[in-house]
Amino acid sequence: MAANPFEVNVQKLSDRVLMELRGEMNSFAEQALSAAYSEAEGFDLPIILLDFSRVTYINSTGIALIVGLMSRAQKAGRRLVVFGLSDHYQEIFQITRLADYLSIVPDQASAMAV
């Protein structure tokens, strides 16, 4: 069931890398997300922005995938900045304490200013 396939667009924006996430973050997203993150790492910049504004659904497996990215970022000393999360997913990031290890900002402009 890949009615809403997960896609990531990776691009460099001045001194940081932007990952535009699109679709549903569940087990089907694993490969695309991991490959895109490797691509983002390839720029070798300290800040990676994760744009969730076009993500329609995140389930517990999606949370686990984000934890995986956080782990990779932590090891490499990178900072992950997240924006475009709905109120509900912001709440979930709080409950799961992901928010403690990520910078959550409202939009891309704020993310560029971090």
The residues binding another protein (CB under 8 A) are 1-3, 24, 26-28, 57, 59-61, 63-65, 67-68, 70-71, 74, 86-88, 91-92, 95-98, 100-101
DSSP string, 48-112: EEEEEEEEEEE-HHHHHHHHHHHHHHHHHT-EEEEE---HHHHHHHHHTTGGGTSEEESSHHHHH
Closest to 100 (Cα-Cα) out of 87, 76, 77, 82: 82
* Least distance between another protein and beta carbon 13 (Å): 26
Using the minimum distance from each CB to another protein, give the nearer residue, 95 or 114.
95
CB of residue 23 to another protein, shortest distance in Å: 12
Minimum gap (Å) between residue 97 Cβ and another protein: 5
